[in-house]
Amino acid sequence: MDLHYIDGSPFARMARVLILEHGLRADLHEITAFPPPEDHLALNPLGHVPVLADGGESFFPTSIVLDVILSKARPGVVAAAVGWAGTERQDAQLLAVILTMGDALVAHHYALWAGVGPVGVDRLGFDPAARNMRRVRTTLDWLEERIGPEGFHPGIISVQDVALACLILWTESRGEIAWRGRPGIEAMVSRLEGRPAFLATVPRPHRLNESGALRPEAPGAT
C-alpha cells in the first residue's frame, strides 16, 4: 500500500503511527507543497491528505484510511480497531467526533494563518473561527468525560487515543490551544507521545511568510 502524506498533517500522522505500531509495509510518499498540488486531486477530489492507495483503489478520508490500515493489522497488538465488543456504535461515534473536532481545529488555525477577516457586513452573527475553537473546547470536555485512566479503552492503545493525541500534539507544534487541565486527556497524551511511532513522526517546524502564505521551502507545512 502507498500512503500519501504531508509531514505536519495530524490526520496523516494518525495513519503513519498505526502503520508503524503494527509494523505494516507501506511506501510513504511525502507531499511537500501546501496545499497539495493539482495532480493530488486525481487521488482525492477533496484535495486532502492522507490518501491510502491500495489494490488499485484510493482510500480517503482519514476514517476510511484508518479503517483500511487496521483491517490489515493483526488483532491484539497496539491500536485496536473500532468495534470493541458491544460498544461498536460508541467507538464509531468517539472516532467520528474526534476527527470532526480535528476538522474544526485545522479550519480555525488556517483562518488565522490566512489572515482571514471581515470583508463585508456580518450577516451571520458569529465569527466562524471563534465558533470552531469553541467547538474544540466543548468537544475536549465531552471527550474528557468519556476517557478513562487507561485511555478510551482499558488495556489497549485505541485508534481513538492515537487520533486525539495526534491532534493535540499538532496544536503543540502549530499553535497552542487550552487543552490542558483535563487529566484524562493529559495522561493519555503523555503516555503516547514518547512511543517510537510518535517520536518517528514528530512534525518538522514550519514557517509562515510575512504575507501569510506558507513558504514553499517549508516541506509539509500544515
Ligand X SMILES: N[C@@H](CCC(=O)N[C@@H](CS)C(=O)NCC(=O)O)C(=O)O
Under the rule (CB under 6 A), what is the footprint of ligand X? 6, 9-11, 35-36, 47-49, 60-62, 99, 103, 106, 222
Q: In angstroms, what is the minimal distance from the CB of 119 to ligand X?
A: 20
Per the CB < 8 A criterion, the answer to whether 136 and 101 are in contact is yes
Name which of 2 and 183 has its Cβ closer to ligand X.
2
Query: Which residues lie below 8 Å from residue 76, measured CB to CB, with a gap of 6+?
Result: none
Name which of 154 and 212 has its Cβ closer to ligand X.
212
Q: In angstroms, what is the minimal distance from the CB of 150 to ligand X?
A: 26
Name which of 32 and 184 has its Cβ closer to ligand X.
32
Query: Which residues lie below 8 Å from residue 138, measured CB to CB, with a gap of 6+?
Result: none
Q: In angstroms, what is the minimal distance from the CB of 50 to ligand X?
A: 7
Name which of 6 and 143 has its Cβ closer to ligand X.
6
Cα-only R_g, the chain: 17
Q: In angstroms, what is the minimal distance from the CB of 213 to ligand X?
A: 14
| Start-end of H helices in the chain | 10-21, 62-72, 88-113, 128-146, 159-174, 183-193, 196-199
- CA 94 to chain CA centroid, Å, is 14
